[in-house]
A and B are shown apart, each in its own frame.
Chain A
Amino acid sequence: MCQDCGCGDVNLVPLELQTRILARNDDVAAHNRAHFRERGIFAINLMGSPGSGKTAVLEATARALRDGRNLAALAGDLATDNDAVRLERAGIRSRAITTGQACHLDAEMVHHELHHLDLTGIEYLFIENVGNLVCPAVYDLGQNVNVVALAVTEGEDKPLKYPTMFAKADLVLLTKMDLLPHLPNTNIAAIDDALARVMPEPRIIRFSAQERTGVVGWIEWLTSCRAALAGEMVGA
């Protein structure tokens, strides 16, 4: 209470903080990132709508490399470990993160699951996020790059509807390209145009897991990103 005049008003003191609300998540993400760096692992946060083809991208990646021995994955889903089972079958060492009601992965979930994943000999860790174009973009997991799978079936203006996700993307994999002949109202140039309005440096690889197109470019991109990171570490 105000002590000056006895008016009964509450004496309020502002406390300036200017702290990041998700600072705790960001701290754990930094810990994950340091862990990956020590082991020479390049971590990819693979995001996209449910059904955009994230798991199929990883299966195609393992096929192209003949075996997935240097690949590992954490697959996030609300329920079931179906994706992790599919990835294991493709030869990728995998663990499921079943989130229950949570619509995204956070750094702590990834950290926890890393304790159960043998990372010996692993060069690339894919974190397949929960299918969702909103919430996963908010949480840093400790990844080195963000990749978004966007299926051509999702509509030309999808990037404009979900700008936050695409603003954070380092690469967009335009998936299910083999379906394009069946989509008379979908124009690829319109998707490129939309992406250039939400991504400052739009990098897009046209991809079809079915027809195995775009896989070589995708693997080259991953390899060059990992090499660039290793170069930075040597230079540091």
Chain B
Amino acid sequence: MHEYSIIQSLVDSVAAAVGTRTGAVVHGVHVTIGELAGVDCTLLATAYDVFRPGTLCERAELTIDRTPARWECPRCRRAIERGAFLRCALCNEPAHLATGDEIMLQRIELEVA
């Protein structure tokens, strides 16, 4: 259940981004979570709802974009088929994780005076 500690870090990140904009109200928080990031999106959403009252994110909807894991050959860039050995059948290179391990705060939406 590290999702709670990730939400704590998320709220801190939002606060840092809002910074000194006094009176700014956060209405939306958009995050990207990779399939192989080790984060459960349902638990993350629950943790956010539990955590947000009384914080800067109280009125902000959380939107979670899930990016699929994409392993590819670092040489020829061919994608490795899902569930296959993580090695390029043509180049014999160990695969590289191109996308799928992100735990990113993409953007926030602020109401400005």
Q: Are A24 and B9 in contact (CB under 8 A)?
A: yes
* Contact code string A66-103 (vs B, CB < 8 Å = 1, else 0): 00000000000000000000000000000000000011
Number of interface residues of B (CB under 8 A): 38
List residues of chain A with CB within 8 A of the CB of B107: 14-18
Task: Pick the contact of A12: B2, B5, B28 (CB < 8 A).
Answer: B28
Cβ-based interface call for B105 (8 A) = yes
> Shortest 3 CB-CB distances between A and B: which pairs?
A200-B94, A135-B2, A164-B38
* Contact code string B89-106 (vs A, CB < 8 Å = 1, else 0): 000001111000101111
CA distance A198 to B105 in the complex (A): 26
For window 9-37 of A, CB contacts with B under 8 Å fall at 10-25
Cβ-based interface call for A60 (8 A) = no
Q: Are B84 and A17 in contact (CB under 8 A)?
A: no
Cβ-based interface call for B1 (8 A) = yes
Task: Pick the contact of B111: A10, A20, A24, A135 (CB < 8 A).
Answer: A10
26 A-B contact pairs sorted by A residue (CB < 8 Å): A11-B112, A13-B110, A14-B107, A15-B109, A16-B106, A17-B17, A18-B104, A19-B104, A21-B6, A21-B10, A21-B31, A21-B104, A22-B6, A24-B9, A135-B1, A135-B38, A138-B6, A138-B37, A138-B38, A138-B39, A164-B36, A165-B38, A196-B87, A197-B86, A199-B86, A200-B86
Chain A nearest Cβ from B13, distance in angstroms: 6
List residues of chain B with CB within 8 A of the CB of A167: 36, 97, 101
Closest residue of A by beta carbon distance from B9: A21
**4 further A-B pairs in the complex, CB-CB below 8 A; given A11-B112, A135-B2:** A15-B107, A21-B103, A23-B13, A197-B85
List residues of chain A with CB within 8 A of the CB of B96: 200
Cβ-based interface call for B52 (8 A) = no
List residues of chain B with CB within 8 A of the CB of A102: 2, 5
CA distance A56 to B88 in the complex (A): 36
Binding site for B on A (CB under 8 A): 10-25, 102-104, 106, 134-135, 137-139, 163-165, 167, 196-201
Chain B nearest Cβ from A142, distance in angstroms: 17
Chain B nearest Cβ from A167, distance in angstroms: 6
Q: Are A200 and B9 in contact (CB under 8 A)?
A: no
- Name, among A11, A19, A21, A201, the residue most crowded by chain B CB atoms within 10 Å (CB to CB): A21
Cβ-based interface call for B27 (8 A) = yes
- Name, among A17, A20, A103, the residue most crowded by chain B CB atoms within 10 Å (CB to CB): A17
